[in-house]
Structure 1
């Protein structure tokens, strides 16, 4: 068995059969292979590794170069995808070997964080990944927003095909990348494919400035308006898009829109009936997971705490060591330390603190580390709870 890196063109003959068998209805048609091959121009910067035996690909993994906001700092991110193994080669440790090499190579290329959608979280937990909140959907009848039809909101909403509205939509995602914790985007090569998305995009503007956008489709007359992530810079942009949804009252029965874990749709109106769901199931519909690939890269993270603490990160190939974490003038600094640690943390534990999904007590109760009582306060102050919104799905 050998592991090798393959090009985007090689993916059709190597990882395509594995990926399609694992994640798609099968057997697949010849047309599916042709369509897949045509998309490979958008994967030129994707790192793909395969394990081969006698010239046949048995397993594969890939990493998409991305960027992610973690508490105000933009990181190069490895978006792990296409993790697949031929049924006859499963339980041989091939994915474990591939994933270790993949993360190592992406780290050497400058990635300081990584994220993925797991088929089984406990498997990736052994690689230092920790769970993040899954995006939710809000389902409601458009007449529930009828009050917005009477509201005189400054601004307007325009409807485009994605090809027509892509530049505005993409510019908004890049703005939100700089503003929203956990937000992530692909590089320009991968992003280019979404210009061809066969859906509508509604773009909201105020005084010419794009303040919100949403991609959507309508399945049938009297059916559902199914929308992707409701992207907005603030309450006004969101209200403009909701008002736009309300104008479909005599066309669709329901609106289904994707929202972040920090949204509260029940407060969008009085007597507003809405079903908010966050389905997590395995092997499909898994919530995302993420991990740090560098501790020093946390330097510059926004924090209001004037605290310092020494922690030791253990059992990790990338970030194991002792570090002094200190908050000063609104920013975090991270430096190697020889002091005795006040907390012993796994990679999943420090990643959970950095992403804001667990507090020190939960770190202990989850078995992810040991935190002295005196250390809980400083860690909470340096890394207050904050829900990340992982926008890109990969």
Structure 2
């Protein structure tokens, strides 16, 4: 068995048959393969690994290069994707071997954290990944926002083709990267893939500044307006985009929009009837999972007060004894000390990302904590739900 990294050009002959069989309707038309080949340039910066036997690719994994905000500190991030194997090669440990190589390489190249969307969370939990919230979807009839049609808001919304609004959209996502916990963006090479998407883009501006944007499409007259992530810098951007949706009252039956966990759609209007749903199922709609790849890189993270030493056993990249303390509201990570808690990689990652508190880490079987460790860990890493924006 040969494990090797392949170029973007090689992906069509090696990875495409595996990932298409795993994730797409098959057999696939020749046009799908040609489109994949044409879009190879968007994978130039990805790290793609395959397991090959007698010249045939039997398993594959890849990582896209992203940047992610974790509690206010932006890191290089490895977005794991394209995990697939040939049916005859499954249950042979090939994916496990490839993932271990991939995560190690991405850490060496500077990625401090990693995220993926699992087909089965328990499989990736063995690699130290832990679940974080999946986005929510709000669905409502546009007449429920009728009050906004009459509102005089200090701004306007422009409807553009994605290709025309791509630069404004990209600038907004990079602004949100600096501001929102969990938010992530692709590197410039991968991001270009979305420039020519056949979707509408609504861009909200106030005094010339972009304060919101949302990608969307309309299925047909009298049907639904399907919107993607409602990206805003604050309440004004949200109000402008919702006002834009409301103006479709005689065109569409419902609006469906993707929102973060901190949005409260039932408060968008007095008579707004809305269904807010967060659906997680497997293998198609798994919630994202995250893990830490580099402990020292976390120094400088905005945190609360506290000083505690933890041990993370049996991990190639972050294993060891670590003292975690706060100086001036910033995390300091140092080697050594007397551990007051033993945490798995997933347990520590859950604390860092703010999705579990120390008691929940214990009850989930992700760590063993002495009573004196609970208070400083709770203070250092208060609950803070991340919004994982980039989907891959």
Aligned partner of 1:386 in structure 2 is 384
Tell me the equivalent position of 1:376: 374
1:150 CA drift (Å) = 1.6
TM-score of the two chains, using structure 2 as the length reference: 0.99
Q: Deviations over 1:100-151 (max 9, x none)?
A: 0000000110100000000000000000000010011100000000011121
The answer to whether structure 1 residue 342 and structure 2 residue 331 are counterparts is no
**Partner in structure 1 of residue 322 of structure 2:** 323
Separation in 1 of the partners of 2:28 and 2:127?
32
Inter-partner Cα distance in structure 1 for 2:93 and 2:68: 30
Q: C-alpha separation between the residues in 2 aligned to 1:393 and 1:206?
A: 28
Give the whole-Å Cα distance in 2 for the aligned partners of 1:245 and 1:295.
44
Paired residues of 2:224 and 2:254 also in contact (CA < 8 A): yes
Measured in 2, the distance between the counterparts of 1:169 and 1:383 equals 31
Q: Would you say the 8 A contact 2:304–2:381 is kept in 1?
A: no
Residue 13 of structure 1 pairs with residue 13 of structure 2? yes
Alignment pair present for 1:75 and 2:94: no
CA distance in 2, matches of 1:274, 1:363: 33
Which of 358, 361, 367 is matched with 1:360 structurally?
Answer: 358
| Offset, 1:303 | 1.6
Helix, strand or coil at the partner of 2:195: helix
Aligned residue number for residue 57 of structure 1: 57
- Distance across 1 between alignment mates of 2:263 and 2:319: 36
Is the partner of 2:250 in helix, strand or coil? coil
CA–CA distance in structure 2, aligned partners of residues 259 and 385 of structure 1: 19
Q: Which residue does 1:134 correspond to in 2?
A: 134
For structure 1, the 5+ residue unaligned runs are none
Aligned pairs for 1:1-394 within 5 A:
1-305=1-305, 307-337=306-336, 339-394=337-392
Provide the C-alpha distance between the structure 2 equivalents of 1:303 and 1:62, rounded to a whole number of angstroms: 32
Cα distance in 1, alignment partners of residues 188 and 233 from structure 2: 22
- SS of 1:111's equivalent? coil
Q: TM-score, with normalisation over the residues of structure 1?
A: 0.99
Secondary structure, in 3 states, of the residue corresponding to 1:176? helix
The alignment's C-alpha RMSD in Å is: 0.6
SS of equivalent residue, structure 1 residue 14: helix
After the TM superposition, which segments of 4 or more aligned residues of structure 1 sit over 6 Å from their partners?
Answer: none
Describe the SS at the equivalent of 1:243.
helix
How many pairs align? 392
How far 1:271 sits from its partner (Å)?
A: 2.3
Distance 1:148 1:116 in 2: 38
List per-residue Cα deviations over 1:276-328 (Å, max 9, x = no partner): 111111111000000000111111111232x1111111121100011111112
Deviations 1:211-249 (A, max 9, x none): 000000001000110001000000110010000000000
